[in-house]
Amino acid sequence: MLTFNFCLLYSALFAVIGFAYARVQKVNDQLPRTGLFMLYAGLLLWTIYLIILDRLGVLRPMVNPPRIPLFVILPAFVFIAWFYATGKHRPFAQSIPIWQPVLIQSFRIGVEFLILGIYLKGIGPVQATFEGYNFDIVSGLLAIPVAWLLYRKAGIARIATWIWSILSLLLLANIIFIFNTLVLSPQMWGFTQNPISAEFTQMPYLLIAGFYMPFAVFLHVFTFMQLRKKVE
């Protein structure tokens, strides 16, 4: 059931991304006709890359330097930096209402329940869940009222969005800190050895570091770009 839920959330986000692209493509002729195909091809290739890392066991030795940040998170962040540095985001930032990417961030509620499922399955410790020290579920919960404020164009909407975005990025950084220290310095959490099973480096659990977390960062940067554009 846990595997099914991972795949269900991934498929839902896959569909949301495609739907958003298709809507922008209808009103913006800057996007190529083959853009939707290229988007899905890129997402599929990234998924295949994660599967290959899993099958080859590249990420399995959970030692220093940590391989998930090196082979998964770093490439994802490089893509995000390239996407925004080259201005690829502009047609989307101009056409997508600012409240929509904020609302999509509520998917993080589901991610936190998936992480809880990982703990219940014995793959990771409780410290990495919202029953421990991972409070990112707050980001997902707050995304809903913040999106509503933006939709209603409330006077406090933009300042609320800035505060929520910064808080949410700090909570993401907290998750990265928790997972990295659990692997590299388990003693600080009271463990004698790494409490995270090597199964965490396999699909579909790899989607947490390989898709869900980078996608949340991608959306935050997108929101920052839209907020900055409005100020200008």
pLDDT tens column, 136-178: 999 999 999 999 999 998 789 999 999 999 999 999 999 999 9
Per-residue confidence band for 26, with pLDDT thresholds at 50, 70 and 90? confident
Q: Which residues contact 116 (CB under 8 A, 6 or more apart)?
A: 129, 130, 131
Structure tokens at 211: 């898709």
Residue 229 has pLDDT above 60, yes or no: yes
Its pTM stands at 0.91
